[in-house]
Amino acid sequence: MPRGNTFESEGRPELDALQSRLGVDVDPELLTLALTHRSFAYENGGLPHNERLEFLGDSILGQAVTVRLYRDNPDLDEGALAKRRASVVSGVALAEVARALGLGEFLRLGRGEELTGGRQKVSILADTVEAIIGATYLSAGADAATALVLRLVSPLMSDPARFGAALDPKTALQELADERHMPAPVYEVASTGPDHAKLFSATVKVAGLATGHGEGTSKKHAEMAAALDAWTQATDTGGSAGGA
């Protein structure tokens, strides 16, 4: 059961758990603010929300990734560097980071967002990651914020093949299937909830084998999440695109 709207209690154990996952000490009030979506703020008397921190974190994220890519890839031209940066800071990539942290359970959302699957929305998850980076900068300084960024995106930064997968996972999975002489991926999508608040679940299959699963508040986002899951499993294990 989501706990994200309940951590104003003494000791804030939920915040302690998130701090541990982040690996950095962030001021509890700033961390709470970073987790506060505008929908929650508006439903609770116009409280502050995380969009200013998101603005700050976006700048820090971009700078940290740009500097690391520049230093680590002296042979890449400006266009290639820009493409790689775009994939690392994309909403899909940041949402993947958020899911790895289990960030959805900590979000403070309004009732409307709660009912429409806000804890799985790519945009909300990605924006919250940026807000947490901003909160880290204000709490612990530039070096700590940069270190957090690089730690969070290290799976992408250390594996060049994942740049394209994070930016366009469906194309990456298709290309992987082609390379391994397997049939094109087939997506199966189901939805739950009323028409105005559907949550989509996708399974992608190659050669009849279930290879990846994903959820989202649109068919497109669910399929992208499933494709990235399948691509990651196949490349991490070195197995077939079918995950056999």
Active site residues: 58, 130
| Binding-site entries | 54, 127, 130
What secondary structure does DSSP assign to the chain, as a single string? ---TT-TTSTT-HHHHHHHHHHTS---HHHHHHHTB-HHHHHHTTS---THHHHHHHHHHHHHHHHHHHHHH-TT--HHHHHHHHHHHTSHHHHHHHHHHHTGGGG-B--HHHHHTTGGG-HHHHHHHHHHHHHHHHHHH-HHHHHHHHHHHTHHHHT-THHHHHHH-HHHHHHHHHHHTT-PPPEEEEEEES-GGG-EEEEEEEETTEEEEEEEESSHHHHHHHHHHHHHHHHHHHT--TT--
Going by the annotation, the residues of the binding site for Mg(2+) are 54, 127, 130
What's the chain's Rg over C-alpha atoms? 19
The 3-state secondary structure of 57-85, one letter per residue? HHHHHHHHHHHHHHHHCCCCCHHHHHHHH
